[in-house]
Chain A
Amino acid sequence: MAQRKAFRWHIAVFLAPAVLVYTAIMIVPLFGTLNLSLFNTGEEGRVFVGLRNFATLFGDPRWSASFWNALGNNAWFFLVHMLVQNPVGVALAALLSSPRLRGAAFYRTAIFIPTILSFVIVGFVWKLILSPIWGIAPGMLDAVGLKSLFAPWLGREGTALTTLALISVWQFVGIPMMLIYAALLSIPDEVIEAAEMDGVTGWSQFWKIKLPLILPSIGIISILTFVGNFNAFDLIYVTQGALAGPNFSTDILGTFLYRTFFGFQLQIGDPHMGATIATAMFGIILLGVGFYLFAIQRRLRRYQF
């Protein structure tokens, strides 16, 4: 009979630092937030209200209108990233990995640099570039005779959110580019050579050989974009302020949460409703990530060399 194995203490010991730190700064506050959303301020201090805050958030016409507006804007923000940032990132990576490209290191660095800039700088610089009064955008369009195309994009309800999404794409396109670039570089030369032997070159090589091999990376990028976008806040706050103007057309879940939780101008902050929104955001992100893990990640085929 096999002897009972001694308890392997070293596993616990090695796990302890990470688990403890992660619990203290991530898990405990997370449950704190979830807990906070079940309370509200009543006549005498804090009272347990169960799910009533959620009923207010989704049932009250004003709260729910703000919430769905923010969620809709957030979805559009995410969609722009998926449709612009990631394809452009893949295309840039494909170009960079081409052996005939000269100065690849320069382009790589130049495209990646905005990623390491602060949101405050990016927001402020773009606000200045696009400013109808001092900006260089109207002047540059004028120089090529397209002045009529210029509009105060950040100030118009119809264009503000898309403009901000594109600014964010400009800032972060370096991330998918780098990840895909790394994935492309890790494709063994033998595979490429074998493809060439079989006459698969150029575009068809990219679509038939390289793309399937980098699909897992694209999956990871998509999920990072999703989480990042639904947690976004900084860029909107810096450029449009906490009221996410014009007329809440750039309000996303992050700014909605901020306004509610901390209050704004004469509005006094409401930590309970704020926590309710935070919980809803957590739920949305959890659903999205869960969907990805179970419906997509498992079906992705991986190749081992």
Chain B
Amino acid sequence: MTKTIRLALLASTLLTGAAWAQDVTLTIESWRNDDLAIWQEKIIPAFESANPGIKINFAPSAPPEYNAVLNSKLDAGSAGDLITCRPFDASLELFKKGKLADLSDLAAMANFSDVAKSAWQTDDGAQTFCVPMASVIHGFIYNKTAFEELGLTPPKTEAEFFALLDKIKEDGTYIPMAMGTADQWEAATMGYQNIGPNYWKGEEGRKALIEGTQKLTDEGWVAPFRQLAKWKDYLGDGFEAQTYPDSQNLFTLGRAAIYPAGSWEIGVFGPQIGGAFEMGAFPPPVPAEGDTCHISDHTDIALGMNAATQHPEEARKFLEWVGSSEFATLYANALPGFFSLNSAPVEMEDALAKEFVSWRESCEPTIRSTYQILSRGTPNLENETWTASANVITGTETPEAAAERLQQGLASWYAPQQN
């Protein structure tokens, strides 16, 4: 009896398998395992209902392992049809090796600005190989309830910023700023790359550095380090051993007033705080009243096509959809803090996310200075910046010495910086 049931079950699975096989299943490789539910519940059903016959399978792996896993899968020919693209060199390398298909002729590419596409283009900008999905914006998230309690307002200039920090410190109820140096990348990403664009004038400085007309020892690049050196006094006790999750928790538990942030925190902080206090955000303060503000609006995530896919037509169809404003709205609202790169304006519901994205109107956006081209060699400028930023905050290295070291490292392999 059981045997027949088993056989029947087996037969039925085989049959359904055969029936399903008529559909094309596209597999997406990604490092966003946090977003699995959102893809399965919101994004994929929206596409599948509009495109019968194509099934999407979102198959993420852990972020730190993604690059290595993806590379070996691509080499072995077992990678999915659609590949989530890291910005700049990691993906460029894959494209050069012929692993990613050229998508320059995709109609949806017209929906993106050149800056949005720059992270997934060849150096000359002639070929684009991934459809931009989202960027993250840096700024400061603050505890609005605490600010009201202490009668504080968000700062606009550097001087106001430090005056504000002094007041919070004097009051003593809150740790002025939640950041640690144990993981190092916080200091570089939420510190240096957050406040830096105001000093090196965003794209202007970043491009000049790539061309070799500016050096990391120039004032525009040393000034953010000088600012960071002053942060030390406003961080919590024992910040040297404070890790990234520690900082997040300090802020969401309401023990710290200000959190130097990336917009990706919005989706994480909201549920963790659970309404215990209100959050607000302000852009990195400018050096002096009336200066143009610059923000880091970093192109972070895109979707490309495996050059060896069995179903290029269906994959392109999906990518066209990813480039559409429908996807942009869906994605930006499902993941507040990941901002669509689509030129079409996207209506968002999350107030904090709206606040962040509103800075795009008033400030000049740029991307993280170390990501394009400058981290191709050894020593790697991005990784060196982590150590340098952490050292400057802890006081082990002076701002000038850190900048000097970074410049020497960069000049040791990057020709435009060698004269």
List residues of A whose CB falls within 8 A of some B CB: 62, 127, 130-134, 138, 151-157, 240-241, 243, 245-248, 262-270
Contact = CB atoms under 8 A, between A and B. Distances in A.
Given A133-B246, A157-B396, A266 B380 contact: yes
B237 interface: yes
B410 to A, nearest CB: 12
Contact of A266 (B68, B240, B370, B390): B370
Interface stretch (B178-186, B213-221, B224-232, B303-311): B178-186
Given A133-B238, A264-B383, A268-B89, A62 B409 contact: yes
B182 A154 contact: yes
Identify the 9 closest CB pairs spanning chains A and B, nearest first: A132-B238, A155-B240, A155-B241, A152-B241, A152-B238, A267-B380, A266-B375, A266-B382, A152-B240
A152 B375 CA distance: 32
A52 to B, nearest CB: 15
Contact of A133 (B236, B370, B383): B236
Contacts of B409: 62
12 contacts: A62-B412, A131-B246, A132-B242, A138-B238, A152-B237, A152-B241, A153-B241, A154-B182, A156-B240, A241-B183, A268-B89, A268-B93
B387 interface: yes
Contacts of A131: 238, 241-242, 246
B287 interface: no
B269 interface: no
B386 A243 contact: yes
Contacts of A265: 185, 380, 382-383, 386
Contacts of B371: 266
Nearest to A267: B380
B282 interface: no
A133 B239 CA distance: 9
Contacts, number: 103
B387 A151 contact: no
B312 interface: no
Nearest to A264: B383
B384 to A, nearest CB: 10
A88 to B, nearest CB: 25
B382 A134 contact: no
Given A133-B246, A245-B390, A262-B68, 16 more contacts: A130-B241, A131-B242, A132-B242, A138-B238, A152-B241, A154-B182, A155-B394, A157-B394, A240-B182, A241-B184, A243-B387, A246-B182, A246-B396, A263-B67, A265-B380, A265-B383
B378 interface: yes
B246 A152 contact: no
A264 B380 CA distance: 9
Contacts of B378: 62, 267, 270
B250 A133 contact: yes
B385 to A, nearest CB: 10
A245 B387 contact: yes
Contacts of B90: 266, 268
Contacts of B280: none
Interface of B: 67-68, 89-90, 93, 180-185, 236-243, 246, 249-250, 370-371, 375, 378-380, 382-383, 386-387, 390-391, 394, 396-397, 409, 412
Nearest to B182: A155
Contacts of A264: 380, 383
A267 B378 CA distance: 8
Nearest to B240: A155
A243 B246 contact: no
Nearest to A273: B378
Nearest to B255: A133
A263 B378 CA distance: 11
Most A CB contacts (10 A, CB to CB) among B67, B236, B370 go to B67
Contacts of A243: 184, 383, 386-387
A62 B379 contact: yes
Contacts of B397: 247
A35 to B, nearest CB: 20
A43 to B, nearest CB: 14
A254 B11 CA distance: 52
A152 B239 contact: yes
B107 to A, nearest CB: 32
A202 to B, nearest CB: 44
B206 to A, nearest CB: 15
A134 B246 contact: yes
Nearest to A260: B378
B101 to A, nearest CB: 22
Contacts of A130: 241
Contacts of B241: 130-132, 152-156
B183 to A, nearest CB: 6
A268 B236 CA distance: 34
Contacts of B89: 266, 268
A231 B96 CA distance: 36
A287 B223 CA distance: 48
Contacts of B237: 132-133, 152
Contacts of A246: 181-182, 184, 240, 390-391, 394, 396
B308 to A, nearest CB: 21
Given A155-B240, A241-B183, A247 B387 contact: yes
A132 B238 CA distance: 5
A266 B239 contact: no
A268 B375 CA distance: 9
A130 B412 CA distance: 39
Most B CB contacts (10 A, CB to CB) among A62, A127, A262 go to A62
Contacts of A156: 240-241
A133 B240 contact: no
A262 B71 CA distance: 12
Contacts of B67: 263
Contacts of B380: 264-267
A256 to B, nearest CB: 13
A153 B242 CA distance: 11
Contacts of B412: 62
B375 A155 contact: no
Nearest to A243: B184
A154 B246 CA distance: 14
